[in-house]
Structure 1
Amino acid sequence: MELRHLRYFIAVAEELSFRAAAARLGVSQPPLSTQIQDLEYELKTQLFLRNKRRVELTAAGLAFRDHATAILAQVDEAAEQTHAIGRGQIGTLDLATTGSVLMGPLAGLIARFRLRVPEVQVRIREMPPLEQEAALHARKIDISFLRGPVGDPDLVTELAWEEKVGVALQQSHPLAVNERIELSELRNEQFVFLRVKNSRFARYLKECCIEAGFDPNITQQVVESYSLLSLVAAGLGVALVPEAAKEMLRPGVVYRALVEPAPIADVIMLYRSDHSAVVNRFLDETRAYFLVSP
């Protein structure tokens, strides 16, 4: 018995006319009659009473109609669900990021994706960058959002959005009167810094200082950018922070842009090349989002 037999049977059962059923199915009447006869032969039961004037379902035909209808509905549902999974409209998406990245537009992107693809469950995991890369390789997460640079050749790197680095300092600091500050003007400052040992981004910022002519005097090191702002507010130094940190400034702390060419804090997406349809859908939504969003 094939699905074709069930579809032909349902058409005849609903039309109670072989001619009308054949027209509905887009087939000629003799092959349709043959398929119904084959089905009755396989079931060893007559499904229709036929004469020149009318077609009626037998008692067995009535019972089989209910079963056939349910089977075809399940098949259609399975096909639709499979198609939706293939389009990335159903599933689970595990994203990893850091707290400082979440201060930017990522939350808005996730909210829009959930509205557009509501049957995908999005789970956000906050973890250090190096742990994110390990989690990608272990297939514990699908996409990592972090600040570059990243040097893993086995993972795909794609720009999510551009961001600059600025300096956070106390409002009473002499340099705070300037709209923009030369990085080299910070040579004599005490710095609170991201933990250099654990952060490629922190090492990059340190290299930028060295290229500007000085080795930064790092007095305190923390894991997250928003912790830097608390230390700046306490008067423990100045901090090089992503532009998104402006949204988290403490009282008495100001953000000032750096004179170009300034260090960058671009956020990248990191993912495996053999990603799922759900990941592909999210990547497409991300690319579209940042084409229209600042």
Structure 2
Amino acid sequence: MELRHLRYFVAVAERLNFTAAAESLGVSQPPLSQQIRDLEAEIGAELFERTSRRVVLTRAGVDLLERSRGILAQAQEAAERARAIGSGSAGIIKIGLTGSVLTGPIGELIRLFRSTHGPVEVRIHELPPDQQIAHLKARLVDLCFQRSPPHDPDLVTEIAWHERVGVVMAGGHALSRAQRLALTDLAGQPYLSLRLRDSRFANDLWRAGLAAGFAPDPCQEVVEATSLMSLAAAGLGIALIPEFASILRHPKAAFRVLAPPVPAADVHAIRLNIVDAVVDRFLGLMRDRSPGIADALRGEVDRLNEDAPDRGA
């Protein structure tokens, strides 16, 4: 049984006239009558009582009419939704990221996307970087945001926004007296790090420290930048973190932006090299709006950095 058979049946059942039904469908009457006979033969029941004067639905025909209307409506809805998803105006976009990325423009980008693309649902999946890539390739997420993306020919990567690196420490730390620090200023300090086995970004920072003569030997390794701030605030060491994470700083911690040369904490958008209209729409919004959002956040970081007192004074 095909949807075409049900459409033909419904047209006849609603009009109880084969000639009128054929005209509404744009077909001739003999093929329509044959289609109805084929449908009855497949079902094994008569759907119409036909006489020379009238056409009447049988009990089986009445029941099939009700169910056919529902089936055809669902098929139409499915086709319309598929069409909308194909054009990027509906569907679900699943985004993989780490917690520290959420402190940047992504939250505002999602809010703006929802306000302009209401039928598209945005779902966030907080995952370690390597799991993000595995989920992306398995089509469990559609888009990832990472600071140190992998080199992979199956993936397409672009800058989502620029972000600096800074140092977080206890408020009374001697280094907090400076408004800006260099990597060489960190030599000899206990070093708190994101977990090296999970984070390419943490490894980039570690190698940059070595190149600057600062040999970072992590005394603690954690998963998220907020954990680094808590440990640094407790006086257990210093940590390098993305600048926007500092907006959520611990009240007993101080943050200072690092002077160049230092690796950037730029966030990259990563997707599969396939056509996806929903992802394209989100990336279009990102390209247009993330620079302005990042600039506003950067101004807030600088203001907090300038206003922060030396808690050790």
Question: Which interval holds the TM-score relative to the shorter structure?
Answer: 0.7 to 0.9
After superposition, what is the alpha-carbon deviation per residue over 1:127-170, rounded to whole angstroms, capped at 9, x for unaligned?
3x334444555666554432204234444434333322122133
Counterparts of 1:147-162 in structure 2, within 5 Å, are: 147-162=147-162
Counterparts of 1:1-294 in structure 2, within 5 Å, are: 3-15=3-15, 21=21, 24-25=24-25, 27=26, 31-39=27-35, 41-42=37-38, 43=40, 47-49=49-51, 51=53, 56-60=54-58, 63-64=60-61, 66-81=63-78, 84-85=81-82, 87=85, 89-90=90-91, 95-107=95-107, 109=109, 116=117, 122=123, 124-127=125-128, 129-136=129-136, 143-187=143-187, 189-211=189-211, 213-223=212-222, 224-260=224-260, 262-273=262-273, 281-282=278-279, 284-289=281-286, 291-293=288-290, 294=293
The Cα RMSD (Å) is: 3.8
Q: For 2:80 and 2:3, locate their aligned partners in 1 and report how far apart those are by CA, in whole Å.
A: 19
Q: Is there any run of 5+ residues in structure 1 with no aligned partner, and where?
A: none
TM-score for both structures, normalised by structure 2: 0.69
The alignment partner of 1:228 has SS state of helix
AA in 2 matched with 1:162: H
CA gap 1:287/1:7 in 2 versus in 1, 3 angstroms: same
Q: For 1:206 and 1:79, locate their aligned partners in 2 and report how far apart those are by CA, in whole Å.
A: 56
Q: For 1:38 and 1:207, locate their aligned partners in 2 and report how far apart those are by CA, in whole Å.
A: 77
CA gap 1:283/1:216 in 2 versus in 1, 3 angstroms: farther
1:161 touches 1:268 (CA, 8 Å); kept in 2? Answer: yes
CA gap 1:187/1:283 in 2 versus in 1, 3 angstroms: farther
CA gap 1:40/1:132 in 2 versus in 1, 3 angstroms: closer
After superposition, what is the alpha-carbon deviation per residue over 1:79-128, rounded to whole angstroms, capped at 9, x for unaligned?
5325535727457x66543332233344555566678566868362433x
After superposition, what is the alpha-carbon deviation per residue over 1:16-44, rounded to whole angstroms, capped at 9, x for unaligned?
5666545544x3xxx53223432454437
Q: For 1:17 and 1:164, locate their aligned partners in 2 and report how far apart those are by CA, in whole Å.
A: 74
Q: For 2:214 and 2:158, locate their aligned partners in 1 and report how far apart those are by CA, in whole Å.
A: 31
Q: Is there any run of 5+ residues in structure 2 with no aligned partner, and where?
A: 294-313
Aligned length: 279
CA gap 1:36/1:2 in 2 versus in 1, 3 angstroms: same
Q: For 1:121 and 1:65, locate their aligned partners in 2 and report how far apart those are by CA, in whole Å.
A: 43
